[in-house]
């Protein structure tokens, strides 16, 4: 799920009285805006809730648009809508509050990475301003960084020089919500529910994958398959071909989430999805079998990161949870990154040479200073906190092995931390 980030327009042509890029919002977009208002109320920000139709008959965005305290409790029994499905699957792993293991030691940094870490200070980032809309997606491949945003455009940056090398223009009304790179192909997921395949050598869109009924929030590469997660509450698996002109057929559609699919991760032959239904689902890529449901977050799961032998998840509930990969997918730790009422939460996660990084998000009109945090990859203790100018939220993050971090920040910037 990607939040609308636009100028306020209220009047007869805008009966919702909310923020919208235009006054002719589709029902699904109205749904997302009202859901965000509900989440902001959870974060201690009082906002007026607007009743709107559900995007699906029984698959709802944020528990029928009600705040959590007015909704039924989220537990293992209501993560899956169909009780018969629960009988066919393993029980959900449920996370409890635990302390960080005392035996864990901070990860030592090389002198080079230590020098890079020292550059993560307020106002130190480089700003690249080639987009005209919020940057929502980032990817890296072969010395280049790819950024996509709400301006219906993809920008190609030289990773070393930070110079803009190329601009790929998408058709009007197809905001870029997600990006992945596979071999010589760039893959982009869009607001219009389509997935576009680009030949990087030509800079041309060679084909469009259709099937999702709403925006595509997340893309991950699973071997020779592409997984896409959407606001239509499903994950689709596509068979890829090195030649972008050859068909990439959809092999199967994974259902089970009762809310929008907001993020994806991949581990071995498993695809892992986080959702607005507060759950994380694990499925086999080859067979589509539902292996496990991880329950414990009390609000939307916004980010997933596979790091070593652990899965890390971040939620609007202000917490980051750590899970074992494989086996019984046990819940290992819970960290309260932001307390209730903080008005912000972790929106995105990434890994880089200096550790794990997290970017925060929240309602833009709350006067907040959002953050980039750098954590020790083992203990998850903070190494650095970089506070951003008021209202500049972090909507995308990408870490590099060299140690620098790229982010989609504010209204239209790509920010780079760790550079001299």
The DSSP secondary structure of 62-103, one letter per residue, reads: HHHH--GGGSPPP-HHHHSS-HHHHHHSPPPEE----PPPTT
Res 57: pLDDT: 38
Instruction: Tell me the pLDDT of the chain averaged across its residues.
Output: 79
247 exposed, middle or buried (CB, 10 Å; 0-12, 13-18, 19+)? exposed
Q: Residue 112 — pLDDT band, cuts 50, 70, 90?
A: confident
**CA torsion, points 244, 137, 317, 390, in degrees to nearest 10?**
-170
Res 52: pLDDT: 28
Q: What is the pLDDT of residues 187-226, one digit of tens each?
A: 999 999 999 999 998 889 999 999 999 999 999 999 999 9
- What percentage of the chain exceeds 90 in pLDDT? 61
CA-closest candidate to residue 236, choices 271, 267, 268 = 271
CB neighbourhood size of 108 (10 A): 8
Res 293: pLDDT: 98
Q: What is the pTM of this model?
A: 0.79
């Amino acid at each position: 799920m990607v939040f609308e980030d636009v100028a306020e327009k209220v009047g007869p042509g805008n009966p919702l009285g909310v923020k919208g890029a235009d006054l002719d919002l589709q029902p699904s977009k109205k749904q997302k805006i009202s859901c965000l208002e509900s989440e902001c109320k959870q974060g201690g920000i009082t906002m007026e809730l607007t009743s709107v139709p559900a995007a699906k008959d029984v698959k709802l965005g944020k528990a029928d648009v009600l705040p959590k305290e007015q909704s039924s409790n989220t537990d293992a029994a209501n993560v899956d809508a169909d009780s018969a499905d629960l009988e066919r699957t393993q029980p959900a792993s449920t996370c409890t509050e635990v302390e960080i293991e005392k035996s864990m030691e901070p990860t030592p940094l090389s002198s080079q990475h230590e020098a890079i870490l020292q550059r993560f200070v307020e106002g130190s980032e480089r700003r690249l301003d080639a987009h005209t809309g919020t940057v929502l997606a980032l990817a890296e491949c072969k010395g280049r960084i790819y950024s996509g945003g709400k301006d219906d455009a993809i920008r190609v940056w030289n990773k070393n020089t930070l110079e803009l090398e190329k601009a790929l223009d998408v058709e009007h009304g197809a905001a870029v919500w997600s990006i992945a790179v596979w071999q010589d192909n760039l893959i982009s997921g869009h607001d219009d529910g389509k997935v576009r395949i680009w030949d990087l050598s030509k800079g041309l869109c060679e084909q469009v994958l259709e099937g999702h009924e709403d925006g595509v929030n997340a893309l991950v590469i699973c071997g020779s398959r592409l997984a896409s997660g959407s606001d239509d509450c499903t994950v689709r698996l596509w068979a890829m071909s090195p030649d972008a002109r050859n068909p990439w057929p959809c092999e199967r559609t994974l259902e089970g989430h009762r809310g929008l699919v907001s993020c994806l991760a991949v581990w071995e032959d498993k695809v892992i999805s986080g959702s607005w239904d507060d759950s994380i689902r694990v499925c086999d890529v080859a067979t589509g079998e539902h292996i496990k449901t991880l329950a414990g977050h009390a609000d939307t799961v916004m980010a997933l990161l596979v790091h070593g032998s652990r899965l890390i998840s971040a939620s609007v509930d202000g917490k980051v949870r750590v899970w074992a990969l494989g086996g019984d997918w046990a819940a290992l730790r819970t960290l309260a990154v932001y307390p209730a009422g903080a008005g912000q939460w972790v929106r995105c996660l990434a890994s880089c040479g200096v550790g794990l990084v997290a970017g925060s998000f929240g309602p833009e009109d709350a006067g907040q200073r959002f953050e980039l945090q750098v954590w020790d990859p083992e203990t998850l203790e903070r190494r650095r906190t970089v506070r951003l100018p008021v209202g500049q939220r972090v909507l995308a993050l990408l870490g590099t092995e060299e140690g620098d971090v790229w982010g989609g920040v504010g209204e239209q910037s790509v920010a780079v931390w760790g550079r001299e």
